[in-house]
Amino acid sequence: MKDDQWKRLLATLDGQVHDPLPCGFIIDSPWLPGWYGADIAEYLSSESVWLDANRRALETFPDVWFLPGFWSEFGMCTEPSAFGARCVFPRNEFPFADKAIRNLVQIADMKTPNPCTDGLLPLVLYRLKWAQPRIEELGHRIRFSVSRGPFNIASFLMGMTEFLKALKTRPELMHRLLRVITDFLKGWHDLQRSTFPSIEGMMILDDIVGFVSERDFEAYALPYLRDLYQTDVMVKFFHNDAACAQSIRYYPEIGINLFNPGVQTTLPDLRALSGHRMTILGNIPPLNVLARGTPEDVRAAVRALLTQTPDR
């Protein structure tokens, strides 16, 4: 983000209203390559293609706040790779991480990965280091440390069904697994911040917290997310586009001050459920309206959203 965009984001989180209203999106590897005209594998493996795709998005939509902006990642493989997951990279499909935990007994002996050396994480940082002067020449700075969340990573390491079932049948092992993942993520975010002093925000994505009840969120997600967000940054950004009505009231308590939801719950209800204690980015349907809709579909959705929220 540019300096003026960052200042306006901070002012927005502080409750200030801008005219015109700011427009922001999460922008990442599932969206950019096809729009840019490159294969996903090419986008992920080529620094120049990756940089130019991000640059073109900024130049095409100069008034949009792209979050986190110049996102260096390898899709869902990024964090699981540090735990030894086999990573699969089809030419033009989303990469995915195969299971690394096939027997629950493995969890007892798990070690916390080193983000400086393990998996694809060093390559994420090398790309950003290479790109940093080029990003800054465009007037932007690296603003966010980024990761998936503990539930998201656990579901890749174990498999979704196996992870959710084990929350009910082996709670002690699941707390052990989530503790190891959380300690790893704390180190990973610390490393990103120490490598790039311009980072003043944290972004965590975890849709899987929307797959559990309020009781299970409170028992298994709340303590680890709270631990992750206990860090001294200005923007604490969380993305969960699965269900959140059962958990959103905890987000401000965790420290989250910017939330990107799905479309299962209306914006007025999201605001009420969260006690009007955080900024919400959304929630126009990203696929059916923003990606697949006509310009008039987008205009109609924006008008409807603004009508629902007279108090901004």
Pairwise CA distance, residues 309 & 312, whole Å? 6
Q: Is 73 helix (H, G, I), strand (E, B) or coil?
A: coil
Q: CB within 8 A of 247, min separation 6: which ones?
A: 209, 210, 214, 217, 221, 240
The single-letter DSSP state of residue 250 is G
Q: Is 148 helix (H, G, I), strand (E, B) or coil?
A: strand
Please state whether beta strands 258-261 and 279-280 pair in parallel, antiparallel, or not at all (unpaired): parallel
Other C-beta atoms lying within 10 Å of the C-beta of residue 75 = 20
Pairwise CA distance, residues 2 & 59, whole Å? 13
Pairwise CA distance, residues 47 & 303, whole Å? 39
Pairwise CA distance, residues 74 & 96, whole Å? 9
On whether the 78-305 domain is CATH 3.40.640.10, my answer is: no
> DSSP alpha helices (H): ranges in the chain?
3-13, 32-36, 40-45, 47-60, 121-137, 150-158, 160-169, 171-195, 214-216, 222-229, 251-254, 267-273, 295-308
The domain limits of the chain are 78-305
Residue 97: alpha-carbon gap to chain centroid: 17
Entry pTM: 0.96
* Degrees, nearest 5: CA angle 299-305-311: 130
SS3 content of the chain, % helix, strand, coil (to 5): 50, 10, 35
For every one of its 312 residues, what pLDDT tens digit does the chain have, with 9 covering 90 and above? 999 999 999 999 999 999 999 999 898 887 899 999 999 999 999 999 999 999 999 999 999 999 999 999 999 999 999 999 999 999 999 999 999 999 999 999 999 999 999 999 999 999 999 999 999 999 999 999 999 999 999 999 999 999 999 999 999 999 999 999 999 999 999 999 999 999 999 999 999 999 999 999 999 999 999 999 999 999 999 999 999 999 999 999 999 999 999 999 999 999 999 999 999 998 899 889 998 999 999 999 999 999 998 888
Pairwise CA distance, residues 203 & 146, whole Å? 5
Count of alpha carbons within 13 angstroms of residue 279, beta-carbon side: 18
